Amino acid sequence: MSYPLQRRTFVGQTLTAAAGLVAAGNLSPSAAAGNRSGEFSDRIRKAVKYHMVTEKLSALDKLKMLKDLGFDGVEPRAQLKPADAGQVKELAKASETTGLPIHGVVNSSNPDIAGAIDQARLFGATSVLHVVRYDRKIGYMQNYKETQDIIRRAMDHAEKNEIQILVENVWASYLIEPLSMVRFIDELNSPWVQVYFDVGNVVRWGWPQHWIEVLGKRVAKLDIKEYDLNVAMNEGMRKGFGMPLGEGSVEWDKVRKELLKIDYRGWATAEVPGGDRKRLADIAAQMDRVLDL
């Protein structure tokens, strides 16, 4: 499998530019083919979470479909149980056969970051998405220290395997404003620990363009979703995620402006309700519009 070399190239660029771009000559397939001509078409690589593909297809056919729809990559959940080994091998083979990269794995708050790093390396991926836990039964600072320690224990393994640990901002009532996230990341003091910034998750408490301004080069990858404050206030907080990209409260023009300021170059992965081929095509078109791809 040829992906480990690709991963080293990608991460080397990430550390040099503090962003998540592959080498300049390795543009997204759809951009390189001239199918996208927006301001970010040569800066952002468009992906979806693997579980968003809901059609009953083999891993190979799922990745073929994503490639046909113009996606540049995919991001699965980590599967670390021995019983999952067959599915992991099938997905890795499908990525190799189609040439559609698996750019990262989602490990949520599983403390086995080292195991997720090993799986990311198998896929030729460049990152593990990690969510810090918030245990309300203990003190805030104790939780802060313990969640940092979980990451610290995996940092040497991350560096050895050239896989970044990317901390995502989520609805855990923890690290819910950008200065706290900056402090959390900077105290770990490693280029292998950065931020997986979720655009939609912050709208409940603030504005994504302000987060990008503060996080700066710490933003290594993006999760893309919409959030509508009017819907949230009238129908329930989680209902705010139901609007299509570009039809909610996210000010995408301002998000793009801040991404340009930090010279963001890397992956943007949709994290919205998935579906069949038609639904995924709609998501691809929405991403093209809001990200100017």
For the chain, the first-to-last Cα distance in angstroms comes to 30
Looking at 228-274, list the stretches that DSSP marks H as alpha helix, in order from N- to C-terminal side.
Answer: 229-235, 252-261
User: Model confidence over 52-95: pLDDT tens digits?
Assistant: 999 999 999 999 999 999 999 999 999 999 999 999 999 999 99
Kindly report, residue by residue over 140-192, the tens digit of the pLDDT.
999 999 999 999 999 999 999 999 999 999 999 999 999 999 999 999 999 99
pTM: 0.89
Instruction: Give residue 169's domain range.
Output: 3-291
User: Which of 190, 133, 144 is closest to 163 using CA atoms?
Assistant: 190
Q: How far apart are CA 287 and CA 66, in angstroms?
A: 14
Task: Tally the domains of the chain.
Answer: 1
HSE-up of residue 229 (Cα within 13 Å, Cβ side): 9
Give me the CATH number covering residue 92: 3.20.20.150
| CA-wise closest residue to 215 among 252, 166, 171, 154 | 166
